[in-house]
Chains A and B, each alone.
Chain A
């Protein structure tokens, strides 16, 4: 019972914070709300028995990526005054479009079969031991390739960030 309430509470927070990301006028606030959203999502991960992912999620997203965003925003000195605004009817049409998308998506997913309590759950798959086994046996090649991807991204970011490219 408490888990159900916890799920409802976390979901409510996640949606609220996500909406605040979109709606707050100051970019810095947006970033901070996004960090909060990520924390609630990490909470969901814990609820789903994915403890390792929850930790990684907090470290990578909240700790690394969002700090990067914050740095960039502060570096560019963006604030409420510099924030560009769309006209009212554009905002309205954006809302209508997003609403339509929601309706259609929910409509499509409504018929999905529910699988709660029909399977015997294995609570251990989210443990670091199981994930590690999977990662270094079945997914060894993608794992190694992703390291190259990160290297390439690093080189690309450095190249783009240089003062002038002649």
Chain B
């Protein structure tokens, strides 16, 4: 089965080519079958590889496909690496990807760009699989750029809307900043190790001493890449805007898969990070700050997708916190559970938006429980999972991260708990305002309300089940589990294990869980009293808000600050350069050369005087000169 790994990215690529080239003439049903079928095939193969990997002792297999780049000493094969980490990501990408494809057949059924959508989605899956399968940094980079491209295409999917196009451009440019860091990191890796394949680099890295400045530089540069792709401070602003794309896209790319590429990259390079403690600190601090910062913004947003977007940023911050404190397994665990419940929440939100006829403002919703029973139930399960309700998947992964954070630094832990409390508050605020109370929309919308078709509800149900049980593969020892995931991923993180010694006592661990649960409970109660008992509603757009509330509602004016501090001066300088350097200097030089040659040639062409005798004379002289040079 492992020999067939090349089929996994190939299937979505074939799907993309077929749909992209001929999709216009196909019926929607056929496009849906090709789109979903290719991903389902990839998922089946991933599943086979996953179980084969569990069964065998050899945990890291490199499959060489062909020689890709050979230039001098640099030789880069196009090869795939199968190990527990990549196979887990394969499962997440193809599994969640398939469900979202299925959902899209229902969600996008009325859209005229149906075939385009599926082509892009398949292309995205292809690049994402390339990203996680590659056995060297360059293939990862290709996938990295490819998913960025697909993200751009899909955010701007409804390209007739200028605001959406701007959001797409913003995402692309923000990502480019990070990509530059990543690229520099790869170059530095090549310069340092003379190779960019994971195997060689990690083997050599073991010989470096801890805290080596070169490793610190490499890891920081890679982290800049991760910042862009995974929407961390200060490069996070594109992600909330990326919600301009269709909701399945938000679920797949901007919640479940692409944005976790940064976590994958750092988890993959865990040895380098372990040997660079300073970078670890940076990752942890940036992560926790992002988590907290995005959570506060999420508290006051009124757009259902914006809340989820900030929640995603916040959860990604959580994952980086986990990476920063050395809990690589915890981070990957959280990537997985987050993929389940965040995809579920987004799809649920999509179902709500579908029912509301495009309305996204939670102030116009309310009481949807009785109209959308399946959506309501699955959304509730997703919410419980994300807030870490005991027994749900989010509980286990979040708990593991917090335990490691506590062990590492109490302040990080406290900020994490604070974030968790806020997460609980805004998620339940979202849930209560959407599904509880009375309907606040227009009369027309109320008539229009309907439960979504089966193609949309089935993915919701499957994801809801996964959100509930997904955590059981990582039950910690204190709760009587075996932590299967920890064992499974051990080969990948083995070399970093000297820094991940787990010396928390069982009592402390249980105490941390209790604290987390009680904080969540308090926060839940507070949200309940505010939005269900007292029926408080978020202030309408016209009302003047209190300063702090306004600050948060306006997202700390970060976009405006970026615009004033970076974009506008940049535009100003560019315009100046355009007017002075480009128009006055460069154009003058170019045009000057042109007119000089024109003038000269008007003189020189007079040599062509039509006198044959003269031509012959010149010819003879030339022959003499040529022979003369031969003589010398």
Contact = CB atoms under 8 A, between A and B. Distances in A.
A and B touch in the complex (CB under 8 A): yes
A104 B617 contact: no
B621 A97 contact: yes
A104 B631 contact: yes
B149 to A, nearest CB: 61
B631 A97 contact: no
B624 interface: yes
Contacts of B624: 97, 100-101, 104
Nearest to B621: A97
Contacts of B623: 101
A104 B627 contact: yes
A108 B620 contact: no
Interface string A71-91: 000000000000000100010
Interface in A87-112: 90, 93-94, 97-98, 100-101, 104-105, 107-108
Main secondary structure of the interface of B (DSSP, over half): helix
Contacts of A104: 624, 627-628, 631
Contact of A108 (B613, B617, B621, B631): B631
Contacts of B628: 104
Contacts of B603: none
B617 A105 contact: no
Given A100-B624, A101-B623, A101-B624, A107 B631 contact: yes
Contact of A105 (B613, B621, B627): B627
Contacts of B630: 108
Interface string A15-57: 0000000000000000000000000000000000000000000
B620 A101 contact: yes
Interface residues of A, number: 12
Interface string B609-632: 000010001001101100110110
A82 B630 CA distance: 42
Nearest to B631: A107
A60 to B, nearest CB: 27
A100 B624 CA distance: 7
Contacts of A94: 617
Nearest to A104: B627
A108 B627 CA distance: 8
Nearest to A100: B624
Contacts of A97: 617, 620-621, 624
A86 B616 CA distance: 14
A37 to B, nearest CB: 21
Contacts of B621: 97, 100
A98 B620 contact: yes
Nearest to A102: B624
Contacts of A86: 613
Contacts of A93: 617
Contacts of A107: 627, 631
Interface string B111-133: 00000000000000000000000
A98 B623 CA distance: 11
Contacts of A101: 620, 623-624, 627
B187 to A, nearest CB: 56
Interface string B205-232: 0000000000000000000000000000
A107 B379 CA distance: 99
Contacts of A100: 621, 624
A108 B631 CA distance: 6
B619 to A, nearest CB: 10
A107 B631 CA distance: 7
Contacts of B617: 93-94, 97
A111 to B, nearest CB: 10
A63 B624 CA distance: 35
A105 to B, nearest CB: 7
Contacts of A98: 620
A91 B493 CA distance: 94
A7 B623 CA distance: 30
B186 to A, nearest CB: 59
Nearest to B614: A90
Interface in A60-74: none
Interface in A102-124: 104-105, 107-108
B615 to A, nearest CB: 13
A105 B627 CA distance: 7
Nearest to A107: B631
Nearest to A93: B617
A101 B626 CA distance: 11
Interface in B259-306: none
A23 B621 CA distance: 21
A135 B630 CA distance: 36
Contacts of B613: 86, 90
A137 B627 CA distance: 38
Nearest to B623: A101
A87 to B, nearest CB: 11
B609 to A, nearest CB: 14
A163 B251 CA distance: 89
A100 to B, nearest CB: 5
B622 to A, nearest CB: 10
A51 to B, nearest CB: 35
Contacts of B627: 101, 104-105, 107-108
A101 B623 CA distance: 8
Nearest to B627: A104
B579 to A, nearest CB: 57
Nearest to B620: A97
A98 B616 CA distance: 11
A101 B617 CA distance: 11
Nearest to A90: B613
A90 B611 CA distance: 13
A85 to B, nearest CB: 12
A93 B623 CA distance: 15
A6 B623 CA distance: 33
A72 B630 CA distance: 41
Given A97-B624, A101-B627, A107-B627, 15 more contacts: A86-B613, A90-B613, A93-B617, A97-B617, A97-B621, A100-B621, A100-B624, A101-B620, A101-B623, A104-B627, A104-B628, A104-B631, A105-B627, A108-B630, A108-B631
25 contacts: A86-B613, A90-B613, A93-B617, A94-B617, A97-B617, A97-B620, A97-B621, A97-B624, A98-B620, A100-B621, A100-B624, A101-B620, A101-B623, A101-B624, A101-B627, A104-B624, A104-B627, A104-B628, A104-B631, A105-B627, A107-B627, A107-B631, A108-B627, A108-B630, A108-B631
Interface of B: 613, 617, 620-621, 623-624, 627-628, 630-631
For the complex of A and B, 4 pairs with smallest distance between CB atoms: A104-B627, A100-B624, A97-B620, A107-B631
